[in-house]
Amino acid sequence: MATFNVKVKWNKENYELELCTSETPNVFKAQIFGLTGVSPDRQKLMFKGAVIKDDEWNAATLKMLKNGVTFLMMGTSDDLPSEPKEKVVFLEDMSENELATALEMPAGLFNLGNTCYLNATIQCLLSVPELRNCLKNYRGSSFDGAHDIVTALQVVHEKMDQSNLVIPALLLEMLHLMFPQFAEKTDNGLFAQQDANECWTELVKVLQQKLKIEHRGSMVDFITKYFGGQFVSTMACKENDQEEKTTSTESFLQLSCFISQDVKYLHSGLKSRLEEEIVKLSPSLNRDATYTKTSKISRLPAYLSINFIRFFYKEKNSINAKILKDVKFSLSLDLYDLCTPELQAKLVPMREKFKEYEDKKIVLAAEQKGNKNEDDSSKKEKEYFEFSFEDDVGSNNSGMYQLNAVLTHKGRSSASGHYVGWIRKNDSWFKCDDEKVSPVSTEEVLKLSGGGDWHCAYVLLYGPQLIEKL
């Protein structure tokens, strides 16, 4: 296994890039695609008269490789015209739903060999419009591994806006350099499957280091503001009522839903997590004692990430085995009852607006039913109330959320199986299965709650529920 600095000649251009023999030729071709725009399936790559295969390097090629050698590539960046396999449907013949689907379909992401965990994570994170906008405006000043990852993700985002298929080869390379655990190989030399939530966590931390926004004249962390919340926790000794209770504040970027036999719904799983028993040293008893830790949310972020704790380490097989239990989640989520009394009081004004909105909708619906004139309200551009507190950008001022994305896993362990991203875009849902993207119904999304070998929700991403100004 070695790495060489080589050249690729295509038409009249010469490109310099790095070739690693521990990776398949497909990864090398993906790098070439990033430079030339010629997709791997249209590349004919030759070296010393021999055509390079997609899946493995032949022994003769490996013997002749050295720094500075030149590969010859033939191929075009445009598809050759061919007879359409399906009947062509023109835009003017499409229904409104078909037109919206045709024009708003998210781009797919090429699987570079067990990289579905990365593709699903990217699709879900980029479902956040504020994150996409912040990423678009990123201009790094300090150049390090975190900068390289954010820049590579920025490139992926730009290409997803321009093409229906993107190969995130550079992002994968930068991820491997900063987090070597994701570069682990199997016995046959292919990339090993990785845990998608671990990838999610590391990417969010990198973005937290680099993405900044201006708020009230100062620069603040985007991720901390839009994805970060806070707990207020109280610790009480169960074995000594006289011991003074202690209070602490903790920050979080993700909530956990532990799955037990009693947990059937997401909300109850979150609620049970907020009260737990721990053992620690008691200063009054001068020994270890049992404490009850009770937590309440004191700040809600605009975007709430929730991880279902579906995997546990099984020593017998040395794997992270999966809990397949069905835990229901909904398209909307209300966390008011999990908040501190102080935050609940702050949430009331916007929650009242929700009630007013629902009442007005009923009145308007009755008026429109009695009015035979054509309703043109759908033609007006909708306006919404701000979802954040005025003095706290990126917060949630109602406690009410709507489902933005679901990251699912199919299989029996975190180191195997397959990950898929399911995202909501313009009130339509799409299944992003690597290169293949397809529209799905909300009913299909709600079936991802678990209970069998089909895709189970592993990470949920909720965004702020918006209130229209009527």
Catalytic center residues: 116, 418
Distance CA 449, CA 259 (A): 12
Contact 193, 416 (CB under 8 A): yes
Contact 330, 266 (CB under 8 A): yes
Distance CA 387, CA 128 (A): 14
Distance CA 405, CA 256 (A): 16
64 burial type by CB count under 10 A (0-12 exposed, 13-18 middle, 19+ buried): exposed
What is the bridge-based pairing of β-strands 418-425 and 428-433?
antiparallel
Distance CA 386, CA 397 (A): 8
252 burial type by CB count under 10 A (0-12 exposed, 13-18 middle, 19+ buried): middle
β-strand partners of 347: none
Contact 409, 298 (CB under 8 A): no
Q: Which two tokens stand for residue 327?
A: 């835990």
Distance CA 208, CA 221 (A): 6
Which H helix or E strand runs over 267? helix 266-273
Nearest to 463 by CA among 227, 122, 160: 227
Distance CA 31, CA 180 (A): 19
